[in-house]
């Protein structure tokens, strides 16, 4: 089965007149073990990036969050945070027994970020 786009959205920043484009894909085979997960692609000023959330990496991130007593883990090295007032931040959220991916997109011309969450196809 092919990767399936489950959400796409675009936010225009009126300050710099640029667009932030986000695409979230449900994937059947990700990582070294070819397991289901999510791929979050984002186009921002200066490039296109991706955050892959699959069980092998997810297990470590969830462990680190629980060890620190947190219910969410900020995936800093797979986020775009070059400015204090414009960013794309990716998280794994622990919601009881469910795991979710969260994407936050903030642009300079908006006060609050756009926040969307997606169920992950795995748990621990």
Q: Each residue of 38-66: pLDDT tens digit?
A: 999 999 988 999 999 999 999 999 999 99
What would the two tokens of residue 42 be?
């984002």
Among the listed residues 29, 14, 74, 23, the one whose alpha carbon sits nearest the alpha carbon of residue 49:
23
Q: pLDDT higher for 117 or 3?
A: 117
Range of the domain at 8: 4-119
Q: How many domains does the chain have?
A: 1
Q: Are the C-beta atoms of 105 and 11 separated by less than 8 Å? A: yes
What would the two tokens of residue 116 be?
């969307």
With respect to residue 84, please indicate whether it lies within any of the assigned structural domains. Answer: yes
With respect to residue 48, please indicate whether it lies within any of the assigned structural domains. Answer: yes
Query: pTM to 2 decimals?
Result: 0.93
With respect to residue 124, please indicate whether it lies within any of the assigned structural domains. Answer: no
Residue 32: pLDDT band by 50, 70, 90 thresholds? Answer: confident
With respect to residue 36, please indicate whether it lies within any of the assigned structural domains. Answer: yes
pLDDT of residue 1: 54
């Amino acid at each position: 089965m092919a990767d399936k786009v489950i959400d796409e959205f675009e936010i225009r920043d009126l300050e710099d007149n640029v667009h932030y484009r986000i695409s979230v894909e449900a994937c059947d085979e990700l990582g070294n073990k070819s397991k289901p997960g999510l791929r979050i692609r984002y186009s921002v000023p200066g490039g296109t990036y991706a955050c892959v959330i699959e069980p092998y990496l997810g297990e470590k991130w969830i462990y680190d969050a629980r060890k620190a007593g947190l219910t969410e883990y900020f995936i800093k090295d797979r986020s775009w945070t070059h400015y204090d007032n414009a960013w794309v931040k990716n998280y794994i959220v622990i919601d009881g027994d469910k795991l979710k991916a969260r994407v936050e997109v903030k642009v300079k011309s908006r006060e609050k970020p756009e926040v969307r969450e997606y169920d992950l196809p795995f748990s621990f």
